[in-house]
Amino acid sequence: MLLFFRSLLVLLLVTIVLIFPVDVRAQDFKNDYQVEYFLDVTDQNISSKVKFSIQITHLRSDLYVKEFSLSFPKTFSIRDVRAYDDSGQISPNVVNTNEFTSITLSFTNPDVGKNSINNFYLEFLQDNLFKVNGNVWEVILPLIENRENTNYKLIVNLPQNSDKKISIAKPKPSTIRGNQIIWENPPSKTVYAVFGDSQYYETELTYNLKNTKVVPVYTDIALPPDSLYQKVYVNSLSVKPQKTYIDRDGNFLARYALNPKEAKTVVFEGIIETFARPREELISIVAQVNDSQEEYLLSESKYWNLSETDRKTYADKLNSVDDIYYFVSKALTYDYQKIKTENERLGASRVLKKPTNAVCMEFTDLFIALARAKGIRAREIEGYGFSQDPQIRPLSLLSDILHSWPEYYDSVKKVWIPVDPTWENTSGIDYFSSLDLNHIAFAIHGEDPEYPLPAGSYKVEDSRDVSIRASLIKPKEKVSLKTSELNIPKTIEDNQILSAKITVTNDGTVFAWNTTISVKSNDLKIASPSQSILSLAPMESKELVFQFSPRAKGKKASSFIEVFINNRSSKKIQFTIIPYYYSLALKIGYVSIITSSFFILVKLLLKRVFPRIRLPNGKM
């Protein structure tokens, strides 16, 4: 456990008065704690009224507790301290040092004897425990470290007029009653909680592109992708790309052409919304896409490989994804010095030989390699970890304070599950049962561990290319899908089978998922009249082909064909159906006219070339 977290833990110091000189053990006393937080929110500042109720039961008759002390880190900003015992209000002895605030309580008239019970009650105000982070509240609550022979109850009371609900809790609460959340004997040393279902981040990413070659090239950059746990709102892209598209892994790529020796700077501006739970509207789509990814999501590749010895020594002894996660988070040690150096990526097999030289990449690579070895689909996410303390939640990739973490595919729930063994190792907080709202994906690596490069990797010298700021403002979403004109003729013969192409373009600010394009006409038989586009990124275009033929035969009719986007009319095209023999007769007429004209023309030419010669007797 980090020194920082050791300082966060409330230190319990018990001073006892001995009636006889005996050895004192934890079994000599039973200490029961109830710690209750009452939150008050004003102008996005959260203050907490904290109540400690401490019950001490003597299990021996030859000693009793006279004094009781609690020590808090100086950063806790404790004020307005009040204390009571069973006889009434008492005067706490508060001592401030450079590191701690210590509060010592003395019983006025304690009960003595075996099974006697004495109570302390401590109240104070604390301003900086619950953090306002954009749209959510976040808190790390320290628990008393030594809880042997102890009951511990933690209660958080939200303001009565608050609409915030707990979305992430580590460990899981025992009870939630309205605005009250209760933990009974939490097993961990800290409680981490987030209130609010989603978080908004104002995002600006800079991509410095340069073609060093003497021939033209094109390059693809990775923009933040839409996924199960984040939604991307594109406000602007400073340079229009040739095209955008989504690759097999789900990356949002923009393509740019660069002339020889040309440089371009592309700036992405937008909002990224992160979610505590998978987006329901994407679960079925992800399941469809994942079926085509299975082969490469289970294969070995650079950095995600194990030697035969590694398999026998480690992988064969791990039976589940839980085993893999906790093995990785405990087997490796985070190296804070490595990020200050060249930071060579070791990969799974090498880091097993150097377990103390790991940063987030090694934790991620080892998890992926072990998971794939056990037949569990896994991949890497590179992005941004919104961290207010790099000692607790470090950002290991110096290309621009980036972070990486793994995801594994739950084949029962049919969703990707993100986990973070790095931050579990450095913070002691559970990042297996749930993640948090502070992980922002820039690139997804399932097929290739190094491509595409995430934002923050397109640097010029020491440029700062990633700007992320938590926001309270809910972004406005623009949904705009457009279809091109249907390239069908104005007149259609009743025996024709025609093909028509429709280009669908996303001119909106958000991804379009599971879009249905349908074509309807009462007078046409249409093969596959309804087609789906699983995903369409902002600025992306896709082409669909429809085949159709007239229903009625032998009669002329005026009709129309209508194009629908998600059952909403987009375009209507008028046309005329004619019997094929109309066209045949017309063609025959054209041929007759052309043939007659040809013979007349030939005859006239012959007359000019061979004129009639009249003889003297008038005969020709």
Distance, CA of 208 to CA of 196 (rounded, Å)? 36
Distance, CA of 602 to CA of 594 (rounded, Å)? 12
Distance, CA of 402 to CA of 379 (rounded, Å)? 17
Quote the pLDDT of residue 17. 35
Distance, CA of 137 to CA of 46 (rounded, Å)? 9
Using 50, 70 and 90 to split pLDDT, how confident is the model at 304? Answer: very high
Which tokens hold the place of 226?
């839409």
Interval 34-55 mean pLDDT = 87
CA distances from 426 to 342, 389, 392, 406, 511 (A): 21, 11, 6, 16, 35
Quote the pLDDT of residue 409. 96
CA distances from 424 to 275, 325, 344, 429, 434 (A): 20, 10, 22, 5, 11
Distance, CA of 76 to CA of 61 (rounded, Å)? 37
Quote the pLDDT of residue 500. 86
pLDDT above 90 covers a percentage of the chain that reads 51
Quote the pLDDT of residue 428. 80
Higher pLDDT, 457 or 610: 457
Quote the pLDDT of residue 582. 59
Q: What is the pLDDT of residues 108-146, one digit of tens each?
A: 988 988 999 999 999 999 887 888 888 888 888 878 766
Which tokens hold the place of 355?
């377990």
Which tokens hold the place of 533?
């586009």
Q: What is the pLDDT of residues 513-537, one digit of tens each?
A: 999 999 998 888 888 899 999 999 9
Q: What is the pLDDT of residues 449-480, one digit of tens each?
A: 999 999 999 888 777 899 999 898 889 899 99
Using 50, 70 and 90 to split pLDDT, how confident is the model at 583? Answer: low
Is the pLDDT at 267 greater than 50? The verdict is yes
Q: What is the pLDDT of residues 364-404, one digit of tens each?
A: 999 999 999 999 999 999 999 876 655 555 554 445 578 99
Interval 311-322 mean pLDDT = 94
Interval 170-177 mean pLDDT = 89
Cβ atoms of residues 233 and 202 within 8 Å? no
Interval 263-279 mean pLDDT = 95
Most confident of 340-349, 394-403, 498-507: 498-507
Quote the pLDDT of residue 397. 47
Amino acid found at 429 = I
Higher pLDDT, 92 or 138: 92
Is the pLDDT at 177 greater than 90? The verdict is no
Quote the pLDDT of residue 12. 36
pTM above 0.85, yes or no: no
Quote the pLDDT of residue 614. 53
Is the pLDDT at 337 greater than 80? The verdict is yes
Is the pLDDT at 257 greater than 60? The verdict is yes
Cβ atoms of residues 211 and 263 within 8 Å? yes
Quote the pLDDT of residue 320. 95
Place of tokens 């009709």: 559
Interval 431-446 mean pLDDT = 93
Quote the pLDDT of residue 146. 61
Cα diameter, the chain:
171
Residue 19 half-sphere exposure, CB side, CA atoms within 13 Å? 10
Is the pLDDT at 48 greater than 70? The verdict is yes
Cβ atoms of residues 110 and 99 within 8 Å? no
Interval 249-266 mean pLDDT = 96
Tell me the backbone φ, ψ of residue 61, rounded to 5 degrees: -95, -10
Helix (H, G, I), strand (E, B) or coil at 505: strand
Residue 230's nearest CA partner among 510, 542, 539 is: 510
Which tokens hold the place of 605?
């030419």
Quote the pLDDT of residue 15. 35
Quote the pLDDT of residue 447. 95
Is the pLDDT at 161 greater than 60? The verdict is yes
Distance, CA of 568 to CA of 479 (rounded, Å)? 13
Interval 538-543 mean pLDDT = 96
Q: What is the pLDDT of residues 592-604, one digit of tens each?
A: 677 777 777 777 7
Quote the pLDDT of residue 188. 81
Is the pLDDT at 1 greater than 60? The verdict is no
pLDDT above 70 covers a percentage of the chain that reads 88
Place of tokens 């808090």: 72
Non-local CB neighbours of 63 within 8 Å, separated by 6+ positions: 16, 17, 18, 19, 20, 22, 24, 28
Using 50, 70 and 90 to split pLDDT, how confident is the model at 589? Answer: low
Amino acid found at 277 = R
